Amino acid sequence: MIYSWQELSQQVETSVNSFDFSGKPDELYDPISYTMTLGGKRIRPTLCLLAAQLFGGNLLNANNLAMAVEVFHNFTLVHDDIMDEAPIRRGKPAVHAKWNRDIAILSGDVMFVQAYQLLAKGNPERLSEMLSVFNQTAIEVCEGQQLDMNFETRDDVTAENYIDMIRLKTGVLLACSLQLGALESGASEKDGKLIYEFGEKIGIAFQIQDDFLDCYAKQEDFGKRVGGDIISNKKTFLMLTATEKANEGQANKLNGLMSIKISDEEKVSGVLEIYNELEVPSLTKFAMQNYFDKSLAALNQIEAATDLKQPLIELAEMLMMRKK
């Protein structure tokens, strides 16, 4: 039988919640159990299991790798929340806010090792390849976070720089999760690279969509405040595209809206007006569609049965809000 992404996602949730993250001293391990059971969409481990299924592997074996990527992802959230001074994570206090900075640093470090402990349970014949892709990914995720922080104070960021940053910050870990599942199941090197590309491109498309929705979602469908990125002067794909396309008058108007003291409503509607003048919405949708198409093209090239690809396509469509 072929499992749907919903079934495998449920399986991941059960695995995470039954995993024993406890240890001594409590101060170090309580934040780990807390973080891991805060929920979340479990996209990365689900992708790992879907890739393992695609190549006919044993899902029980792949489960350790699925856990590895989920623990790693949560480690990055614990450290990122310190850096971003974000007090809330998934509606609950972030670790550094509930405990303190030092405990967040150190229990994050332990989670990082736990990810490697889980990874080390992978298929011994492919362990070296798995370590290699995981190490490279972990470094790239850190690079993405550093670039993201650098962008806040840089004024020469291009839309292309931005795409590379979100590729590192989001794309490569989705890609790695899939590749690990594929390697565990004995996929060829070529198919491992194709499934990696599928995840990388879907990650970029998803992040561009996230920027788009921040401006154009209906408030009732959107978890955050619509226009939040505009209000906080965030360098999103839309803002960077607008900056590149703007003529002198439009550029001055944009800079004015971002620096003078006006109401949030005026700022958002002023910026959206310029976005519309410059056709930023359709350019953004085009970029999104372009990465989504590339993602599916990579999946299409993989040598595996079409019905085994279907759950991956459905998860991709769900991420791109084309299906529930």
Q: What is the dihedral of CA 73, 74, 77, 78, to 10 degrees?
A: -140
| Span near a second copy by CB under 8 A; candidates 37-45, 130-138, 188-196, 310-318 | 130-138
Name the minimum Å distance from CB 91 to a second copy: 24
Question: Near a second copy by CB under 8 A, which window of 101-109, 226-234, 262-270, 284-292?
Answer: 101-109
Q: Pick the piece of the chain touching a second copy (CB under 8 A) from 25-33, 218-226, 270-278, 292-300.
A: 25-33
Sign of CA dihedral 118, 123, 126, 128: positive
Considering only residues 53, 74, 114, 295, which one is a binding residue for a second copy as defined by CB under 8 A? 114
- 166-205 residues in contact with a second copy (CB under 8 A) are none
CB contact set of 312 (below 8 Å; sequence gap of 6+): 5, 47, 50, 51, 54, 198, 299
End-to-end Cα, the chain, rounded Å = 22
- Closest CB to a second copy among 168 and 240? 168
Rounded CA separation 8/311 (Å): 10
162 token code pair? 């931005």
Q: Which of 38, 105, 231, 318 binds a second copy (CB under 8 A)?
A: 105
Question: Nearest-CA neighbor of 72 among 101, 25, 19, 36?
Answer: 36
When the beta carbons of 168 and 278 are compared against a second copy, the nearer one is 168
Number of residues that bind a second copy (CB under 8 A): 36
Q: Does 273 bind a second copy (CB under 8 A)?
A: no
Confirm or reject binding of residue 157 to a second copy (CB under 8 A).
no
Q: Are 47 and 59 spatial neighbours (Cβ–Cβ below 8 Å)?
A: no
Q: Which stretch binds a second copy (CB under 8 A): 2-10, 59-67, 75-83, 230-238?
A: 75-83
* Residue choice 7, 10, 19, 28 for contact with a second copy (CB under 8 A): 28
Nearer to a second copy, 153 or 306 (CB): 153
Strands (E), the chain: 88-89, 92-93
Minimum distance, C-beta of residue 228 to a second copy, in the bound complex (Å): 22
Are 170 and 204 contacting, i.e. CB atoms less than 8 angstroms apart? yes
262 binds a second copy (CB under 8 A): no
Separation CA 178–CA 59 (nearest Å): 13
Q: Does 10 bind a second copy (CB under 8 A)?
A: no
Check residue 321 and give left, alpha or beta (phi > 0: left; psi -120 to 50: alpha).
Answer: left
**What SS3 class is residue 73?**
helix
Contact residue for a second copy among 24, 218, 261, 324 (CB under 8 A): 24
Question: Nearer to a second copy by C-beta: 167 or 267?
Answer: 167
Sole residue written with tokens 């990388």: 200
Query: Contact with a second copy (CB under 8 A): which of 128, 219, 263, 306?
Result: 128
Q: Dihedral through CA 46, CA 167, CA 207, CA 179, nearest 10?
A: -10
Angle in degrees, 0-180, between the axes of helices 306-319 and 43-54, rounded to the nearest 10: 160
Interface positions with a second copy (CB under 8 A): 23-25, 27-28, 79, 82-83, 101-103, 105-106, 109-110, 112-114, 116-117, 120, 124, 127-128, 131-132, 135, 138-139, 142-143, 145-147, 149-150
